[in-house]
Chains A and B, each alone.
Chain A
Amino acid sequence: MEAVRSPNAERHEEDRDQIFQPLSFRSGLRVKNRLFRSSISGTFDEYNGHGTHARLNWEESFARGGIGAIISSFVPVTVRGRILPRYATIDDDDKIPFWREVGRRVHAHDCRFLLQLSHSGRQQDVGGVENLYRVARSSTSKKDYFHGILSQAMSRGEIGQIVQLFADGAERAQKAGLDGVELHGANGYLLTQFLSSGINDRVDEYGGGVEGRARFVLEIVRAIRKRVGSGFHLQMKINAVDHNSWLYPWEKAGNRLEETLKICTILEDDGAGVDAFHVSSGSTFPHPRNPPGDFPVGEAPLWYDVMLSSGVRTGLNQRIFKNRFLASLFRKFWLWRRGKVIEGINAEYARDIRNHVNVPVVCTGGFQHAHVIADVIRRGWCDGVTIARPLIANRDLPKILEQANGPEPSKECTYCNKCLLNDLENPLGCYELSRYDGATFEERYANMMRSVMSVFEPPAFGPKAESGPEPAAAEIAEKGRAR
């Protein structure tokens, strides 16, 4: 990103004011500041998709830290669309009470909660036992090129069913008293698989040009609107640019910015469509651009093994990760494909999209410094930023940004992406040992474990678990919804 103002303590008040002004959407959603917790998951829930107290603790910890709104974890609209087991789903009405409780917990901190309606398509890292004998559905029958996850192109009938599942999910979110939904249309999941010219090889009305590729998502948008009306916030997470050939140069590049701008217009649906866009990039997950940062070659061979039975190229990948020489080559390649910018990696894409659309735009990509966040908002490149990993590192990042330009250097998110790899098998948290206090490895590691395991505190059964949010906080939450 070019020409970001350098940090300047004297101007911090100015930056702070920029960041901590509320943001209102036409849907009626009003967020108290410009900071959103981006969708990030954690395998905390019941295997069958019921949420747990750990998820409540998890989401509440961000709300408590002062974030304006939380975009939920990847929430599958059906078990067939999960990316990992133990993620809470929205596939049945019986999930509504849990999500209602999530809303209640975060609203207590004057934080909004948007549920991310998701479907993995062929990018199903671990399908779980329910999906063991099923081939993932997608726009294409070509397998995912990174892990080699098998895929079968959906029939029109299946497409129609999935559209309804998204609408069902949105309706459930509304019934749960949540503040809106986000369609996960970025980073290689099912919606990307339809939108991307690099992946969608259909010859029917759901493929071909931009209109054809966007048809599936537009049908979802319209189906959701039909169910929840125009007053329920609906936003779209989208790849500004696919960068689909990052790993294999012979893959098609995927959507360029111009195509994405057309898709955005389609999804605005003449004012009846989405209420905001959430800008990301990269047609796979992970992707050197998302989450932007390092590739933790030390962690990969430890945790990638859980994916070995998922795809037909996972064995090859694991052999590369296990070989120190090849792994270091892969890491160098990864860093090269990412580029130099991490913080604000998508900001210029957001600028171009915001200039083109008629709704607010939020942008993701490594944000954790006030001067950067304020700058992109001040310039009008986006209306707010979404943050994931820096918030895992510092749940109180919003509070920090109120006081200072960013966390203490030793406490900053290093973009190491160890959280990303650990999420395959371990509780999500910050696994960057260097950020933890301690004179020895053992001390640091113990502190790290305390931090990671804190998501399970308070426990489901115990004195603390029975105490809900204080009435005052709940009142604030109700007011903040401004519905």
Chain B
Amino acid sequence: MKSSEPLTPVTAYTRRRSRAVRSLVLLVLFALVWTGFWLLGASAPQRFEDDVEHFKYGSIGSDNAERGLPYWIFTVLPEVFPEHLPPGGKGYEAFGLLVEPGRDRPVGFSKRRVFGIDLLGLNCALCHTSVVRDDPGTEPRLVVGMPANTVDLQGLFQFIFRCAGDGRFTEANLLAAIEGHVDLNFIERILYRIAIARFRETVLAQRDKLEYWNDIPAFGPGRVDTFGPYATLLFGMGVDGLIGTSDFPSLWNQNPRVGMELHWDGNNDSVEERNRSASIGAGNTPESMDEESLARLAEWIGDLPPPPLPAERVDRSKVDLGRTLFGKHCANCHAFDGERVGKVEPLANVGTDPHRTDAFTVELAKQMNTLGEGYPWKFTRFKTTDGYANQPLDGIWARAPYLHNGSVPTLWDLLLDPDERPKTFYRGDASYDWENVGFRSDRPKDEERRLFLFDTTLPGNGNGGHLYGVDLEPESKRALVEYMKTL
């Protein structure tokens, strides 16, 4: 056929139409792909150039579709349900969460878009970053790697439980609040409707599984029952009568801890398993673990130095004596080169509150060792012990209050006979008591929020035991405390 022959009108029309249809189909496909990509594609997990920023806000994989918290739902809860906040509280700061200026979320939360919705995930910094107010009236400073002394994790979760269980937790109310902050498009509105319903369902299911929290003494800030939620949420086990509440630990200097019996009770001697199990606690699943980020953080905390106590706060004249006393009375268990450091001290010796070590049962250890089935890192090292592991005391000043359950506010108090240690004291204060080495514990309210009255007479909160050094002369105790400021 010569190319000069014209098309018949019908052929010309149908070709034009085919071209138009093809263009339309391409356009629709493009739109679909774009929408699909936008909808289904997760944004890349958030990474920060700076290690500290990454630690505070970067993803470890917990911002996943299964367990991530929808950002906007989380964000509007305090304004929709202010009555569920602690009295006088505003926003998540009421639970001691740290909000840095210019940030859209507290420290310890990563953010990532999945299925068209921004999700929050918890990361290590939530429980391992805190603030110290050096002097009254000054702004508190942020210290990374430090136990989150102000963070009331249980209070935070119970707030969310109360919100989800409130009759006003409806799609309409939540959407209205969300749209006060951000314009949602048609698809986002649908997605949020789904997310709100799902959030309520998931949260209430979790609430029911954590009902045992109502039967044990409140955690208060700076503490958590680490393993109880694994038992009830992951393994469906009962935890009747078990109280595993203990202090958040510090994260620094992990390399020197390799090979030590880790966790308060020394139930695992693998740094890697300890890291991974903590990340599961933060919301990771075996599939969601962000290997690259976890490896980077593990490396970073491996040789992260403890924060130095300000030099001007140390009475150098007493340090030498203190060092000597430490060498004599403490180093065997608490110096990195000590013979017994990183080893479990039987309860019979240390005599501290038994609940935490008792709460980690044989059955739970067995269950923990089922995690990671099919992965090269599958847990194998969990075991039960009969005491508490001897901890190296690096950065001990920033790890107050003391003992595994945080039942003793200062180092000075720890050197007192248990009967003389404070029976009750306030936890969560960011102000520091440089003399006794610990956070202030004598006032019900600090500059920001109401504090938590810690009662050592409640089960799991006992402040007895660890009688080492209680018989020293006061001057010796002072010297020992001054020396320990330098650790």
Contact = CB atoms under 8 A, between A and B. Distances in A.
Nearest to B11: A309
Contact of A309 (B6, B10, B17): B10
Contacts of A133: 6, 8-9
Interface in A118-143: 132-135
A311 B9 CA distance: 9
A378 to B, nearest CB: 50
B37 interface: no
A138 to B, nearest CB: 13
A134 B9 contact: yes
Interface in A269-322: 309-312, 315
A150 B6 contact: no
A473 to B, nearest CB: 48
A310 B9 contact: no
Contact of A135 (B6, B9, B17): B9
Nearest to A308: B10
B13 interface: yes
Nearest to B14: A312
Contacts of B13: 150, 312
Contacts of B17: 312
A302 B14 CA distance: 22
B249 to A, nearest CB: 68
Interface residues of B, number: 8
A213 B11 CA distance: 32
Contacts of A311: 10
A126 to B, nearest CB: 11
B323 to A, nearest CB: 91
Contacts, number: 19
A145 to B, nearest CB: 15
A27 to B, nearest CB: 41
Contacts of B11: 309
A157 B11 CA distance: 28
Contacts of A132: 8
Please classify the interface of chain B as helix (H, G, I), strand (E, B), loop, or mixed, using the class held by over half of its residues.
Answer: helix
Interface string A131-168: 01111000000000000001000000000000000000
Interface residues of A, number: 10
Interface in B1-33: 6, 8-11, 13-14, 17
A309 B8 CA distance: 9
B8 to A, nearest CB: 5
A132 B10 CA distance: 9
Contacts of B9: 133-135, 150
Nearest to A136: B9
Contacts of B14: 312, 315
A294 B105 CA distance: 70
B70 to A, nearest CB: 43
A311 B17 CA distance: 12
A463 to B, nearest CB: 45
A316 to B, nearest CB: 11
A311 B8 CA distance: 11
Contacts of A315: 14
Nearest to A310: B10
Interface in A82-134: 132-134
**Among B6, B8, B10, residue most surrounded by chain A Cβ atoms (within 10 Å):** B10
Interface string B181-214: 0000000000000000000000000000000000
A135 B10 CA distance: 8
Contacts of B6: 133
B411 to A, nearest CB: 83
B3 to A, nearest CB: 16
A442 B431 CA distance: 105
Nearest to B12: A150
A342 B53 CA distance: 84
Contacts of A150: 9-10, 13
A308 to B, nearest CB: 9
A238 to B, nearest CB: 30
**Among A132, A133, A134, A311, residue most surrounded by chain B Cβ atoms (within 10 Å):** A133
B20 to A, nearest CB: 12
Interface in A192-224: none
B274 to A, nearest CB: 63
A121 to B, nearest CB: 15
Contacts of A135: 9
Nearest to A314: B10
Interface in A306-359: 309-312, 315
Interface in B106-144: none
Nearest to B16: A312
A155 to B, nearest CB: 17
A310 B8 CA distance: 10
A61 B202 CA distance: 83
A315 B14 CA distance: 10
Contacts of A310: 10
Nearest to B8: A132
Nearest to A134: B9
**Among A132, A134, A310, A315, residue most surrounded by chain B Cβ atoms (within 10 Å):** A132
A314 to B, nearest CB: 9
A134 B13 CA distance: 13
A312 B12 CA distance: 10
A224 to B, nearest CB: 31
A387 B462 CA distance: 109
A132 B13 CA distance: 13
A32 to B, nearest CB: 46
A24 to B, nearest CB: 47
Contacts of A312: 10, 13-14, 17
A309 B13 CA distance: 11
B469 to A, nearest CB: 89
A77 to B, nearest CB: 22
Contacts of B10: 150, 309-312
Contacts of A134: 9
B383 to A, nearest CB: 66
Interface string B376-411: 000000000000000000000000000000000000
A309 B10 CA distance: 7
Nearest to A143: B13
A312 B10 CA distance: 6
A10 to B, nearest CB: 58
A125 to B, nearest CB: 13
B119 to A, nearest CB: 44
A92 B233 CA distance: 94
Interface in B55-76: none
A311 B11 CA distance: 9
A233 B284 CA distance: 94
A290 B9 CA distance: 29
A315 B10 CA distance: 12
Interface string A369-401: 000000000000000000000000000000000
A312 B6 CA distance: 18
B135 to A, nearest CB: 80
A309 B11 CA distance: 8
A22 B134 CA distance: 124
A150 B7 CA distance: 14
A310 B14 CA distance: 11
Nearest to B5: A133
**Among B6, B9, B11, B17, residue most surrounded by chain A Cβ atoms (within 10 Å):** B9
A315 B8 CA distance: 16
A325 to B, nearest CB: 23
A187 to B, nearest CB: 22
B403 to A, nearest CB: 76
B180 to A, nearest CB: 43
A133 B12 CA distance: 10
8 contacts: A133-B9, A150-B9, A309-B8, A309-B11, A311-B10, A312-B10, A312-B13, A312-B17
Given A134-B9, A312-B13, 17 more contacts: A132-B8, A133-B6, A133-B8, A133-B9, A135-B9, A150-B9, A150-B10, A150-B13, A309-B8, A309-B10, A309-B11, A310-B10, A311-B10, A312-B10, A312-B14, A312-B17, A315-B14
What 9 A-B pairs come out closest when comparing CB atoms? A135-B9, A312-B13, A150-B9, A132-B8, A312-B14, A133-B8, A309-B10, A150-B13, A312-B10
